[in-house]
Amino acid sequence: MITMTVDTRDLAKVNAAFRAAGVRLLAQIIPEELNRGGNRCYGLVRDNLIEETGLSVGEVTKALSVKPATRDLTYVITAQGGYTRVGFGARQVSAGVSHRAWGRAQVARGAFTHGGIAFVRTTAARYPIRPLFGPSIPRELERGKSQEIVNTVAAGYVVPNILSRCDAAIMSEGRARGLTVGGAARRSMFGVGSVGGRSGALRRGTRRR
């Protein structure tokens, strides 16, 4: 599981004169931008998992699910499923089974195919046998490039958009109340509106299966 969340503790510093803007930020602006950025992450993460695992678009899409951000200010991407059995275009060759698990051509030496799935014998005897297992989407979600993708989108897209819209909301509320606040002061009152932590870093959540 990967989470993208916004730390709003610094919103407590917002001057009472801008309270209405703060409410709008929490209820509308921040969730909207988290969901825009989260949906962008979802597409990029899905494409990356297809490339990393060698699984089909349908298999990866079926395994992934998202929980949009609401007032909890957290966008979550989760994956379900166990380890896949090695099929991936498996075919018998003299050395074993050729397949493309994890998106790369390789040979499982000593293996054999049955019904398009690769198997190996667990002893020198004919039986027992067991299937060869390929990638697990939940595991690859946690250890591959997925977190790097989310960090990049958060830093380059989500945080700038949140800050820009926060700034505009405070200016609008200030004008409505006949007040003038400079840009530096507005940002100071909001801290950084950080994603994941007070320094602006993403917080990643993982769930073991």
Give the bridge partners for 117, in sequence order. Answer: 114
Interatomic CA distance for residues 193 and 170, integer angstroms: 13
| Residue 87, pLDDT score | 53
| Residue 159, pLDDT score | 86
| Residue 149, pLDDT score | 92
| Residue 205, pLDDT score | 43
Residues of the chain with pLDDT under 70: 8-23, 83-89, 179-209
| Residue 126, pLDDT score | 82
Interatomic CA distance for residues 33 and 74, integer angstroms: 11
| Residue 209, pLDDT score | 41
pTM of the predicted protein model? 0.69
| 175-207 CB burial, b ≥16 within 10 A, e <16 | eeeeeebeeeebbebbbbbbbbeeebebbbeee
| Residue 85, pLDDT score | 59
| Residue 32, pLDDT score | 93
Nearest to 108 by CA among 123, 100, 94, 98: 98
Interatomic CA distance for residues 166 and 183, integer angstroms: 11
Interatomic CA distance for residues 48 and 142, integer angstroms: 12
| Residue 63, pLDDT score | 92
Q: Tell me if 122 sits within 8 A of 143, measured CB to CB.
A: no
